Amino acid sequence: MLLLAAAFLVAFVLLLYMVSPLISPKPLALPGAHVVVTGGSSGIGKCIAIECYKQGAFITLVARNEDKLLQAKKEIEKHSINDKQVVLCISVDVSQDYSQVENVIKQAQEKLGPVDMLVNCAGMSLAGKFEDLEVSTFERLMSVNYLGSVYPSRAVITTMKERRVGRIVFVSSQAGQLGLFGFTAYSSSKFAIRGLAEALQMEVKPYNVYVTVAYPPDTDTPGFAEENKTKCSSPLDININTETVSHPELNAGSALCSDEPALTRGRHSLSKQSGGERNQSELIPLNLPLETRLISETTSVCKPEQVAKQIVKDAIQGNFNSSIGSDGYMLSSLTCGMAPVTSITEGLQQVVTMGLFRTIALFYLGSFDSIVRRCMMQRAKPEMADKTA
């Protein structure tokens, strides 16, 4: 009796798996497709462009820094598979003014045809304690990460809806699935991207336009290196990696602007005094003791090529959630909430695994809380010693 029920269940699940591709979105054909990648001059954006180019797409790179764009174009063109492919580079700040972005998309569409896939990869990251972050950071991060995804999407959406085909990819972050110490400004902007994507998907689904949100973990890119400069720098840190400091390049894709006075101050201090004591007041806007780094160490750093491959695969398929790695899979299943699914199998997996993953997540949260508490107590000890001395 029990065996019979089990057999029926297995048969039912197998049936679902077989039926699932029939109702999933029709995959996007990349050969000949026009793919626009914002923030495509470095990091994850560049790797996504390479991945699409390898499969025959026509690429438009959008970023701020023209030199980096040309460098990236040269690198991408090495991977061409036929003579017709083109890489177009346009320099603009996607977060400043919507009309500029609209013009850029128009230019790109005149040269390479209507946009089939838009990848919103422009973003930057800054870490710091809530009260130590500069007040303008909140607005700046939200502007680059969120508005810099809204404007290009808005510029292409009408055409995509008319043509009844399209893919829009938003690059959020694992920090856009859970809030972490030191990422108050960054997490909010990445959560906002998710909210935008969910609402947008509900609007455009009948038009065969699919939205994908990618949640990459810490990825080994120039932007990540810049972020790490803001994570260290405290008297408690004696193992500072000073070799990565002397690269004040302006990464159009994702970086801190090197003309920011406070940050430049911080960077120069780091290069002047390697190890030993630091002038803490100079570094206060960036001062983030161990907590964020310790918490980040629980997940491994990915390679951007890996991330790009996964994102492109999920985008072509039309999957809403794109996660990288087993950690990412667990986090995505756990935090899927009311997000849409485009395959029955994904829905079934979410239903079955959510309880277990929530239990595991509670343990992770407990460990993060204890890290934060221990760092707080460690910091309190020298103060108490000062008071009693």
Q: Using CB under 8 A, which of the segments 58-66, 78-86, 140-148, 224-232 binds a copy of itself?
A: 140-148
Are 126 and 137 in contact by the 8 Å Cβ rule? The answer is yes
Q: Using CB under 8 A, which of the segments 105-113, 139-147, 214-222, 350-358 binds a copy of itself?
A: 139-147
Calpha distance 361→339 (Å, rounded): 19
Radius of gyration for the chain, computed over Cα atoms and rounded to the nearest angstrom: 23
**Residue 206 or 276: which CB sits closer to a copy of itself?**
206
**Residue 176 or 216: which CB sits closer to a copy of itself?**
176
Q: Which residues pair with 363 in a beta bridge?
A: none
Are 331 and 177 in contact by the 8 Å Cβ rule? The answer is yes
Minimal distance, residue 376 CB to a copy of itself, in Å: 5
Q: How far is CA 230 from CA 47, 124, 223, 388, in A?
A: 25, 12, 11, 33
Interaction pattern, residues 73-112, with a copy of itself; x per rule: CB under 8 A: -------------------------x--------------
- Angle at alpha carbon of residue 301, lines to 43 and 303, rounded to 5°: 45
Interaction pattern, residues 149-188, with a copy of itself; x per rule: CB under 8 A: -xx-xx--xx--x-------------xx-xxxxxxx--xx
Among 53, 58, 146, 215, binds a copy of itself (CB under 8 A): 146
Return the beta strands (E) in the chain as ranges.
Answer: 34-38, 58-63, 87-91, 117-120, 166-171, 209-215, 321-323
Interface with a copy of itself, residue 293, by CB under 8 A: no
Catalytic residue, from 186, 210, 229, 332: name it: 186
Minimal distance, residue 142 CB to a copy of itself, in Å: 6
Place of tokens 């061409």: 80
Minimal distance, residue 130 CB to a copy of itself, in Å: 6
The answer to whether 329 is a known catalytic residue is: no
Interface with a copy of itself, residue 368, by CB under 8 A: yes
The answer to whether 172 is a known catalytic residue is: yes
Place of tokens 């997490």: 187
The answer to whether 190 is a known catalytic residue is: yes
Report DSSP letters for 154-166, one per residue. HHHHHHHHHHT-E
Interface with a copy of itself, residue 337, by CB under 8 A: yes
Among 373, 378, 382, 384, binds a copy of itself (CB under 8 A): 373
Q: Using CB under 8 A, which of the segments 12-20, 309-317, 345-353, 364-372 binds a copy of itself?
A: 364-372
Q: Which residues pair with 87 in a beta bridge?
A: 59
Q: Using CB under 8 A, which of the segments 78-86, 107-115, 146-154, 276-284 binds a copy of itself?
A: 146-154
DSSP label at 206?
A: G
Minimal distance, residue 290 CB to a copy of itself, in Å: 13
Q: Using the Cα atoms of residue 302, residue 305, residue 311 and residue 317 in order, give the sign of their dihedral.
A: negative
Helix 98-112 × helix 148-163 angle, to 10° = 40
**Residue 17 or 130: which CB sits closer to a copy of itself?**
130
Q: Which residues pair with 119 in a beta bridge?
A: 37, 169
Q: Using the Cα atoms of residue 135, residue 137, residue 140 and residue 143 in order, give the sign of their dihedral.
A: negative
246, amino acid identity: S
Nearest to 118 by CA among 203, 52, 42: 52
Among 4, 18, 135, 238, binds a copy of itself (CB under 8 A): 135
Number of residues this chain uses to bind a copy of itself (CB under 8 A) = 54
Neighbours of 343 (CB within 10 A): 19
**Residue 179 or 248: which CB sits closer to a copy of itself?**
179
Residues assigned a catalytic role:
172, 186, 190
Interface with a copy of itself (CB under 8 A):
98, 129-131, 135, 138-139, 142-143, 146-147, 150-151, 153-154, 157-158, 161, 175-176, 178-184, 187-204, 337-339, 368-369, 372-373, 376-377
